[in-house]
Copies of this chain bind each other. A is one copy, B any other.
Amino acid sequence: MVRVGLTPERLARAGAELADEVGFEHVTVSELARRFDVKVASLYSHLRNSHELKTRIALLALEEVADRGAAALAGRAGKDALAAFADVYRDYAREHPGRYAAMQLRLTPEEAAASAGGRHAQMTRAILRGYDLAEPDQTHAVRLLGSVFHGYVDLELAGGFSHSAPDSQESWTRIVDALDALLRNWPASS
């Protein structure tokens, strides 16, 4: 009976890798146990239930994206920052589709509060410092940017933009251009 040294954190990391390999919807406590060469019941000493595993993977992914975002934003401003941050989302989703799918998991308000979600919003606000937006327009813009990044990446991953011209990279670049233009000329409230 060798002790493998399981911890919730190791399980979450392994779960994240599993998600990238087989898809988040196929992440299962049983499969994870198999990978650690351990009996399934053993994992339940570290995880309340299978949902906790999924939640931990989601939180892990949110942290990783936040870390990448922070790195990308360092020393950048304006459109430069906008484009870099946008690419963080897109690149992460392409590199780690399983983790990205995990990020879509609906968190409870408590889980959300404890997540890196707040950092995401803060970074988006930081980008907007390069533009001249007062509240409440700044919040509207934060929500718009979040929607576009999330929405575009999701549709792209769903295959929505493949096999049709122009290619997705070009749209992505032009959309970031368009967002930059929009933020510089945000329409006054009617």
Instruction: Please report A residues at the B interface, Cβ cutoff 8 Å.
Output: 104, 106-107, 109, 112, 117, 136-137, 139-141, 143-144, 146-152, 154-155, 157-161, 163-166, 170-171, 174-175, 177-178, 180-182, 185-187, 189-190
Sorted nearest first, the 3 A-B pairs with minimum C-beta distance are A151-B151, A147-B151, A147-B152
Contact indicator A174/B147 (Cβ below 8 Å): no
Residues from chain B with a CB closer than 8 A to the CB of A117 are 160
Using known A-B contacts A148-B151, A149-B151, A170-B136, determine if residue A143 contacts B106 with beta carbons closer than 8 Å: no
Of A150, A155, A166, A180, the most chain B CB neighbours within 10 A belong to A150
A157 to B104, CA, bound (A): 11
Whether B185 contacts A161 by the Cβ 8 Å rule is: no
Residues of B near A186 (CB, < 8 A) are: 178
Closest to A189 in B: B174
- Which residues of chain B come closer than 8 Å to A159, judged between CB atoms? 106-107, 109, 112
A177 contacts across to B, CB distance below 8 A: 187, 189-190
Please indicate the chain B residues that have their CB under 8 angstroms from the CB of A190 in the complex: 177
Out of B106, B150, B165, B182, which one reaches A151, CB within 8 Å?
Answer: B150
Nearest chain B CB to A135 CB, angstrom units: 8
A107 to B165, CA, bound (A): 20
Q: Are the CB atoms of B165 and A143 closer together than 8 Å?
A: no
Minimum CB–CB distance from A180 to chain B (whole Å) comes to: 8
